[in-house]
Amino acid sequence: MIDVKLQSVLRRVYDSDVPARSDLEYLLALKDPSEVAQLYAFADFVRKEHVGDGILLRGIIEFANHCRNTCLYCGLNRDNSHLERYRLSGRQILQGVEELVCSGIKTVVLQSGEDDALDPSWFEQLIEEITSKFDIAVTLSVGQKSRRQYELWKRAGANRYLLKIETTDPELYASLHPGMSFDNHLRCTYDLQAIGYQTGSGSIVGLKGQTIATLAEDILFFRERDFDMLSVGPFIPNRNTALGRRQAGDLGLTLRCIAVTRIVTKNTHMPANTAIASLAGRDGTIAALRAGANVVMPNFTTEAYKNLYELYPGKKCINPKESVNQVEKIAAELTRYVDYSRGDSLKRKKEQATSMAQN
Ligand code: SAM
């Protein structure tokens, strides 16, 4: 049955530039299955209107699991002595890139822990080599760095940068990230956007101390900064971390967050991310794609190392060819299609079109 109040809140949130926090909280807190189904259907409609039916593929290479930080939820944190550490060589990374290009994928995501040993010039040369050999977009995800380093890598040919804020509550952020600075995170985000990276943020759902109100604030922040990419996924406990005994984030709340984020931010690229697949398998990926997501990220990390990038146990990293086949099958089931284009930001396109029309 169509709920009149719910439909008017959905419309209001969709139509307003800055939605009311209370409306977002109302949507995030929905429990009744028929109301939740209406939320997902609306988010799916917004997804179709603003990003279309294509499911974009990004090939991720997790090239090092060394990390200087001690994030309370993350298996890569430097205090986790149970983890065997690795760094891939440039040659191994290029092999992964070649493999993803052969699969028809046109974006590589180079991710690592925040590794102090990452040599900026080595990374610069690697980015140059990738962009000179292959016609693909390069996304970086190596944490909080100086503006100078971000500029260097942008000049070398990198196009995009992922730096999830995880939570926008400064106190919660501080309690989860000892020794890290919320203000420095914001500085990085602003620098990345100012330099011209297509920039991604996102949150983890189910963190200790998080509430519906803080999740609503996260979504308002996503709207305010008009991110090109947003990744929202559940917390998954890792027994080798301080939050190892906490229960996993709720799948339903995660999907509602994805749906509300889609409705508020409209044409942002949003993955059905690995944490969702790890928590809820193929059904979780399908549910996220039905609730507003439009991206999947097959894993092209060198086979012998991929299990060592253990953010949490049971992290799904199936063989990348199987993963692409699985997305093809899912796309067919959803009467959508796999989009093998670069999938650049739709935000800038809109801005460019508006400024061309004004000139
Ligand atoms: N160092 C880079 C950074 O900080 O942006 C990228 C690597 S970081 C390990 C990648 C992402 O893993 C984080 O942004 C976080 O959202 C996710 N992550 C880590 N531990 C997690 C956990 N236990 N549950 C869910 N997501 C987790």
Long-range Cβ contact pairs of 23-27 (< 8 A, separation 24 or more): 24/216, 24/219, 24/220, 24/260, 24/264, 25/212, 25/213, 25/216, 27/256, 27/259, 27/260, 27/263
Pocket test for ligand 1, best of 72, 73, 153, 311 (most atoms within 8 A of CB): 311
**Letter for the amino acid at 32?**
D
Mean pLDDT of the chain: 96
Residue type, 1: M
Measured in angstroms, how far is the CA atom of residue 235 from the centroid of ligand 1? Answer: 9
Q: Tell how far CA 159 is from the center of its chain.
A: 15
What pLDDT does residue 348 have?
73
- Arithmetic mean of pLDDT, 28-32: 98
pTM above 0.85? yes
- Whole-angstrom Cα distance, residue 65 to residue 331? 32
> Ligand 1 mean position to 32 CA, how many Å?
31
How far is 114 from 65, CA to CA, in rounded Å?
8
Decide if pLDDT at 262 tops 80.
yes
- As a residue count, the chain comes to 359
Condensed to tens digits (0 to 9), the pLDDT of residues 309-341 reads: 999 988 887 899 999 999 999 999 999 999 999
When pLDDT is cut at 50, 70 and 90, the band that residue 354 belongs to is: low
Q: Give me ligand 1 centre to Cα 113, in Å.
A: 8
* Residue for token pair 């090939």: 59
Distant-in-sequence, close-in-space partners of 309: CB < 8 Å, separation ≥ 6: 62, 65, 76, 301, 315, 317
- 110-134: pLDDT as tens digits: 999 999 999 999 999 999 999 999 9
Question: What pLDDT score does 318 carry?
Answer: 82
- Predicted pLDDT at 70: 98
In the block, which residue shows the tokens 């294509």? 54
Judge whether residue 66 has pLDDT over 80.
yes
What torsion do the CA atoms of 237, 238, 242, 246 make, to the nearest 10 degrees?
Answer: 20
> Which residues line ligand 1 at a C-beta cut-off of 6 Å?
73-74, 76, 111, 113-114, 141-143, 163-164, 166, 204, 233, 235-236, 238, 275, 311-312
Q: Report CA torsion sign: 60, 346, 27, 53.
A: negative
- Residue owning tokens 């060589």: 89
Based on the number of CB atoms within 10 Å of its own CB, is 271 exposed (0-12), middle (13-18) or buried (19 or more)?
A: buried
